[in-house]
Amino acid sequence: MKPSIKISLLSTLILIALFSSFTQAQKSKVKVVYSYHVPDNGKMSYEMYSYLIADNELSFFVTQRSDFQKPENKVTQEADRIAVKVFNADEIGSYVVRDFKKESIVFREVGSKFMAPIIVSDQWVALPWNLSDETKKIGEYVCKKANCQFRGRSYTAWFAEEIPIPTGPWKLFGLPGLILEAYDANMEFYAVAKELKVNIEANDEPMKLNNGTEANYSFEEYKRYRKNYKEVYINSIKSKFPRGMNLNLKPSDIKLSPIESEFDQ
């Protein structure tokens, strides 16, 4: 199924609500800047700049925006081949929008030279956290520990009950306090708060939420997209090469390190 390049009505309504809420000074909010790392072929990626703005009704987490601090592209030798690692970013970035009142979640993934960015209406699922009595201090806040399994990974989160906003980096949420640190059991995903501002009254960050080039997916369409991603990626590359040029590229040549490897939730 070929996805629409338009933003769905549901996604549009959620994004309008987000923008309206965060540009009005009616409720106090928090802003957290995280040191953010994602899986990279069995290890933790380079540090990526990200931030979260949230209150008890809406949260907005964003990274991979072109005006953020970003790592340099790298060329490395892997066995008998040269590997090029390119950091993808654009003026919108990858983001996760969560609307607690409507129990809806929309996320965007940046594209690349060969793939369009996408916006997905995700499924709202409660993360099955198990709370612990263990504590540690992060900055000035005493944080409690919690664990859960979510879409193929086992996560540990440290949350501050003193800041009763039930969200955190990426899609992690649902604890009785703001998540200041989170990581998976393999230490491939990792996020920790570097800066924290509480009781901010308005957001002065730019929040352009689409540029009209995105492919729009339902959650079921997105699962099929992820399943067939390597083949779609190869076909997209071949379509941009001159006709008649033989590109010997196989699905096994494409390395993927998604945060989510299972979609049973």
**Residue ranges of domains in the chain:** 9-253
Instruction: Report pTM.
Output: 0.85
The candidate with the shortest Cα–Cα distance to 191, out of 183, 199, 201, 202, is 183
pLDDT tens figures, 148-197: 999 999 999 999 999 999 999 999 999 999 999 999 999 999 999 999 99
Q: Which of 171, 133, 177 is nearest to 152 (CA)?
A: 171
Distance of CA 173 to the CA centre of its chain: 13
What are the backbone dihedrals phi and psi of residue 11, each rounded to the nearest 5 degrees, phi first?
Answer: -60, -40
Cα separation, 38 vs 151, whole angstroms:
15
Highest mean pLDDT among 12-21, 77-86, 131-140: 131-140
How far is residue 10 CA from its own chain's centroid? 19
Which DSSP category does 242 fall into?
P
